[in-house]
Amino acid sequence: MKIILAGLFLFSVLGSIPGSDRYGLAGGYSILWLLMMYLVGAYLKLHGYPHLKNVVYLGIYFLASLANLLISDSLSWVKVRFLHGDDKLFLGVVIAYTNPLLVLEAVCLFIWLLRFPIKSLWLQKSLLSLSPLSFGAYLLQTNPFVYTIITGAYTRLSIMKPWWLVLAVLGLAILWLLAGCLLDYVRNLIFRKLKTQGMFNHKVIKSILTEPSRT
């Protein structure tokens, strides 16, 4: 626990200072930050979490979100008042994966969703099947090749009316999620097929590596 807290302090608190990337976190798109999140998830799975009421976790989530926006607004005011910059929000601070408040929001929302009662067996099975595949959506969008293609591709959405803009953003997010899940599902099928054919059998690989050369 102490190691995880120390890592979060170094990478999340110190690493999220605007204008600096001393640990090469790239706003949360680096393997180092991904490893840090794996450690947090592993700790929650092995040791559990404080058994607070669901409303407490949800309240912390909303309070952290509000604090995040207030800090962003304050930074914007300082930028305009003293640095003579534009009046745009410091969105880079608000939405950065390494933002400590965003990490707190994510953990609280994750725990709240874990404890959310789902009575439908069909829905339970669907979520259990989709959850491992959803990571494919993250990997797809953070792929350098894909990221280069989609950069600036959605600027035309800014001219939409507010309600249409909300629907368009939600629709595109769902499409990206489904596309990522589908690709990860196909990848799993391919690897299972290769495994059943013995290509990933450790005994076969060992025999190939240890077989003496016949030349």
Residue-wise pLDDT tens digits, 50-92: 888 989 999 999 999 898 888 877 777 777 777 666 655 556 6
Q: Which of 50-59, 93-102, 155-164 shows the highest mean pLDDT?
A: 50-59
Specify the pLDDT at position 153.
Answer: 75
- The reported pLDDT for the residue numbered 146 is 75
Reading the block at residue 191, the tokens are 């690897």
Q: Say what angle helices 54-82 and 100-114 make with each other, to 10 degrees.
A: 160
Residue, of 81 and 102, whose pLDDT is higher:
102
Token representation of residue 76: 């914007």
* Of 1 and 200, more confident: 1
Hey, where are the domains in the chain? Answer: 1-117, 119-215
